[in-house]
Amino acid sequence: MKILLIHQYFKDKGATGGLRFNEMVKVWRDEGHEITVIAGDLDAHTSTRSKEYKGNFVTKKDQDGIEVWRCYVSESYNTNFLGRLWAYFSFVFSGIFAGIFKAKGKYDVIVVSSPPLFVGITAYLISLIKRTPFVFEVRDLWPESAIDTGVLKNKLIIKFAFWFEKFIYKKATKINVLTPAFRKILIKEKGVDENKIIMIPNAADFEITDKLLTSFDVNAFRNEKNWGDKFVITYVGAHGVANGLHQILETAELLKDTSVTFVMVGAGMKKEELKKKAIEENINNVIFYDPVPKEDALKYIMASEIGASVLLKNDTFKTVYSNKTFDYMSCKKPIFMAIDGVSRDLVEEARAGIFVEPENPKDFAHKIRQYLKDPQRIKKEGENGYHFAKKNFDRIYLAKEYLSHLVEVVNNK
């Protein structure tokens, strides 16, 4: 098959952050399929653009045998509401241009991953012109999550977003959702035919973690980082508005009498504010690190005692799986899950950690103290999470399952 993937946040080789589709398309490639990707040229967390893309509306490159078209995204992404909106639509326009005039030839199927919801415009127009069915993927419920976190505020744009969401669900041949909550909402609240919905969730990359589990020198890494005998709780991921990482600093403040140290690896529009708060309030048991490639991020997790998954206290987030949760599981680390809903259900079903009430530092600190006294619990829950994820969330298995649905779409068109 010839597959066109439209994904604004598809990463460059060696980049940091969410690599779901970077890893997925490699499996599809290895299965003998031809992949083309239309992606943004801007790192969403840092609002920076690689030198090779500067001055170009679109840039073609080969990435591990996959044709990638890097398309212009405005650098206004992390400035304000209007800046982010323009960043979304600048990619819509550049992506349409690349898909119609640059990435020439026919495709058997198009896969488009949202958010932002507006990438659906790009997919729909390309699908019309190239007469190709498309699969619309819902990584996060838009526009609800954008409204709840303050990204979308304009009433006219919100009205358009809800209309377009309904339109794109109708036009898509299949809709992939990442959590059972998304599936339930689309069927019961948004009127989507349940036969149209598939569910391929986020996953863990056991190819990397299984190698590290046997070869990585944890003690050498901890010595290099000067962690000593600290009880390290690691957060790996975005430092944005939705993540609500102020609660980690507030929890750290309550644990200054212990050996607990929070390690925060990543980038985002709130990171400098968090670092400033830590300095001003003398919260010296939090260490910030810059984003690192996936394998290095996994080393931080493996060298820690526990991982943390954190979001704001928001009903919308009750529907999401936190990406990093699967990384913690694959590294045999239990999880402090400060996200209610399906993420909480996941950790409790796997017996791989404990739920922490979001934005309740006292609850967070109290539960950390429980783990400080029980190293056997840490080991047991880490093992539980690993085996549960191995059984249910192996990336290669899920990539092949996704592929089988794409084959079905092509065969039935």
Specify the number of domains making up the chain: 2
Q: What is the pTM of this model?
A: 0.86
Judged against a pLDDT cut of 70, whether residue 81 lies above it is answered with no
Q: Which pLDDT value is given to residue 78? A: 64
Render 227-284 in DSSP notation, one character per residue.
Answer: -TT-EEEEEES--STTT-THHHHHHHHHTTTSSEEEEEE---TTHHHHHHHHHHTT-T
Q: Does residue 224 share a domain with residue 188?
A: no
Strands 58-63 and 66-71: antiparallel
Q: What is the CATH number of the domain that holds 100?
A: 3.40.50.2000
Segment 87-109 shows an average pLDDT of: 93
Across residues 245-249, what is the average pLDDT? 97
> Each residue of 380-404: pLDDT tens digit?
999 999 999 999 999 999 999 999 9
Give the Cβ contact number of residue 130 at 10 Å. Answer: 17
pLDDT of residue 92: 96
**Virtual torsion, Cα 226, 227, 228, 233, nearest 10 deg:** 180
Same structural domain, 187 and 262: no
**pLDDT given for residue 77 in this prediction:** 67
Q: Are residues 254 and 345 in the same domain?
A: yes
Percentage of the chain lying above the pLDDT 70 cut: 96
- Is 252 in the same domain as 176? no
Question: Which domain covers residue 21, as residue numbers?
Answer: 2-203+394-411
Sorting pLDDT into bands at 50, 70 and 90, what band is 241? confident
The pLDDT > 90 percentage for the chain reads: 79
Per the model's pLDDT, the better-predicted residue between 410 and 148 turns out to be: 410
Distance CA 339, CA 345 (A): 10
215 and 197, same structural domain? no
- pLDDT for the residue 76: 76
Cβ pair 294, 205 in contact under 8 A? yes
Say if residue 215 is in the same domain as residue 337. yes
Q: At what angle do helices 323-330 and 375-392 cross, to 10 degrees?
A: 110
Q: Give the pairing type, strands 174-177 and 335-338.
A: unpaired
Alpha helices in 74-154 (DSSP H): 81-97, 119-130, 144-148
Domain shared by 11 and 127, yes or no:
yes
Specify the higher pLDDT residue, 199 or 77.
199
pLDDT tens digits along 191-234: 999 999 999 999 998 989 999 999 999 999 999 999 999 999 99
267 and 359 inside one domain: yes
What pLDDT is stored for residue 143 in this prediction? 83
* 3-state SS, residue 107: coil
In this structure, how many other beta carbons lie within 10 angstroms of the beta carbon of residue 281?
12
In this model, does residue 104 exceed pLDDT 90?
A: no
Work out the average pLDDT over 239-246.
92
Same domain, 65 and 16: yes
Six-digit token string for 10: 């598809």
pLDDT value at position 46? 67
Length of the chain (residues):
413
If you average pLDDT over every residue of the chain, what do you get?
93
Domain match, 287 and 310 both: yes
Residue 155 pLDDT > 90: no
- pLDDT-based confidence at residue 87 (cuts at 50, 70, 90): confident
The predicted-structure confidence for 131-142, as pLDDT tens digits, reads as follows: 999 999 999 888
Instruction: Work out the average pLDDT over 278-287.
Output: 97
232 and 156 in a single domain? The answer is no
Q: Are residues 174 and 237 in the same domain?
A: no
Is the per-residue pLDDT at 41 higher than 80? yes
**pLDDT beyond 80 at 47:** no
